[in-house]
Amino acid sequence: MNLLKKIIKVIIALIVLFSICIAIWIGYMKYEQSQKDKTELTFLTTAKWEWYDKYARIQSNYNSLFKSTVLRKVNLSKQYVIYASKNKDYTLSARVVFSVDCKPNSSIVTSKVFTDGTPKELKCSSDGKSLSYGVQWSSGSSDVVWSENLDGFKVYENFGNWDFSILDKEITLLKAK
């Protein structure tokens, strides 16, 4: 009988210990995710960003000066951010910002060219902490895959997975008389 009580106590102790280990692991995983979220929301920005579509890792920020929302997606592993906005004609504009030290306010002419032969340029920020490059699509479709290699500065994003409905609604509401 004493042996049975000892076995039951050991089993209960093991269950409690196992439960504590699982709780610690879950707490650590939640902490790790919250740190990743915080890092993404503050990466290469001083503005306050919030999750627009956390599952797709897309953030939003309302710019009161331009009276429009800008969406962005951070790629921490490749150290860049993609910003996307819509123009008054509903066409898509995007900008990629690479986290890299560069000569402040300088331009780098790449070997890549637009269809009209104009060279593509990377622009260095005023603080010398990032290079950026912007594009605009003439089609009204947002189902665009942006894939570009600007002499080693590579960007890839499938905008077909982004929800631009908030941007489209803002453009429509601005047309109110």
DSSP 134-148: EEE-SSS----EEEE
Residue 176 has a pLDDT of 81
Using the structure block, give the residue that is written with the tokens 């897309």: 58
CA angle 102, 108, 87 (to 5 degrees): 100
pTM of this structure: 0.89
152's tokens = 């080693």
Strands 58-63 and 50-53, bridge-based pairing: antiparallel
Residue 177 has a pLDDT of 65
Q: Does an H or E element contain 102, and which? A: none
Residue among 135, 132, 65, 83 at smallest CA distance from 105: 132
Within a 13 Å sphere around the CA of 28, how many CA atoms are in the beta-carbon half?
A: 6
Q: What is the rounded distance in angstroms from the CA atom of residue 102 to the CA atom of residue 128?
A: 5
List per-residue pLDDT tens for the chain, 177 residues long: 788 888 998 899 899 999 999 999 999 999 999 999 999 999 999 999 999 999 999 999 999 888 899 999 999 999 999 999 999 999 999 999 999 999 999 999 999 999 999 999 999 999 999 999 999 999 888 999 999 999 999 999 999 999 999 999 999 998 886
Instruction: Write phi, then psi, for 140 (nearest 5 degrees).
Output: -75, -5
